[in-house]
Amino acid sequence: MKLFEYEAKGILIKYGIPVPKGVLITSSEELDKVSAKINPPYVIKAQVLVAGRGKAGGILFAETMSEAKDKIERLLGSEIKGIKVQSVWVEEKLRTKTELYYGITVDRYRKTYIILASSAGGMEIEEIAEKYPEKLVKFPVNPLEGFRPYHARWIAKKLGYERKQMLELASIFYKLYKAAMDYDAELIEMNPLIETIEGNFVAADARLIIDNNALYRHPEYEEHFEGEYTKDEIEAKRKGLAYVKLDGNIGIIGNGAGLVMATLDAVQLYGGKPANFLDVGGGASSDRIAAALNIVLSNPNVDVVFMNILGGITRCDQVAMGILEAKKRIGFTKPMVIRLVGTNEEEGRKILSEAGIHVLDSMEEAAKKAVEIASKTFKR
């Protein structure tokens, strides 16, 4: 579960990590809070739970209060990558000497946490690794020993700092690790972590993702989910479906996350572009299948739907009835490619064939067919 920047910075403050002075604005009536608490110039940040918001126009700068008001009002109610901006974080603009990166995430290969640090901050860690690999410091955390203050000092030295600055930076590194452990972080990062002209260190941006499996230890965030998702993703969650919108034109529905991922891979292998990931789960009822189709077809970019069902707990006849129910309920006319194999397979095929819907045996054959239909639609 992702936290907003202002929430992540609130946690950093609890651990004694310096952050810029800031104020949260949720409506134009609250603009007086800015001038009362912060002096210009300002940084104005849309509070949306998406990566790359700066490149998408979600971070603006203002030299005066009048300019700040205009830009705050412009951001409030706008959309950043499909997410409506309901709040804006306004903070003081720091005088920057150097931008650093520091983050802690899970290394699933090593099955432990890994510390990542770089003297090239202000960009995504993947970009840093590609453009400046020599500036990236990696420190896998021994799960038996943990992360110690002397480890933090070693990383600070690797970034080129000495004496008082090295100790100050190492202290911030160690405090962030403590916050990561206390909040069951999948990822926590400061990017950029700024070295000011005065030689101090301040977390100009903060990001925290909490492991969903540990949310029972953080009940204060139980109602936090909706800000992270689009309307379709929220609706999918309410229906018990796992849905992620993508950029293509082939709608994908399957039962089981592994099967859906394999379906996406097959579509891309044959030159197609998936429009979404949608997993109906095991034992999907006809109502759930209908709901899945409704969500996928609500995306106007979808030209064809590829449904890949491997019946185990999920019964193929229930899936077939769900498809017909959805067709009747929402009246969709877009083509479908269906691969239906498993429990009550013959009954499911019969239900669909009597309705004039053809069913395929092979996932590869079905993926090719879906890509063929989508490419013809695109050319038209």
Distance, in Å, from the CA atom of 155 to the CA atom of 137, rounded to the nearest integer, reads 7
With a CB cutoff of 8 Å and minimum separation 6, the contacts of 242 are 236, 257, 277, 278, 279, 281
* Residue 247 CB neighbour total at 10 angstroms: 9
Residues forming beta bridges with residue 22, ordered by sequence position: 91
Compute the CA torsion angle 140, 141, 147, 149 (nearest 10 deg).
Answer: -30
Residues forming beta bridges with residue 278, ordered by sequence position: 243
Contact 100, 121 (CB under 8 A): yes
* Residue 61 CB neighbour total at 10 angstroms: 12
First to last CA, the chain: 41
DSSP 289-357: HHHHHHHHHTSTT--EEEEEEEESSS-HHHHHHHHHHHHHHH---S-EEEEEEETTHHHHHHHHHHTT-
Cα radius of gyration (the chain):
25
Q: Hey, what are 182's tokens? A: 């206390």
Catalytic positions, please? 101, 189
* Residue 163 CB neighbour total at 10 angstroms: 7
Residue 368: alpha-carbon gap to chain centroid: 29
Distance, in Å, from the CA atom of 61 to the CA atom of 64, rounded to the nearest integer, reads 9
With a CB cutoff of 8 Å and minimum separation 6, the contacts of 321 are 286, 289, 351
* 3 state SS of 80: strand
* 3 state SS of 204: coil
What per-residue string of b and e applies to 96-116 under the rule 16 or more CB within 10 Å gives b? eebbbbbbbbbeeeeeebbbb
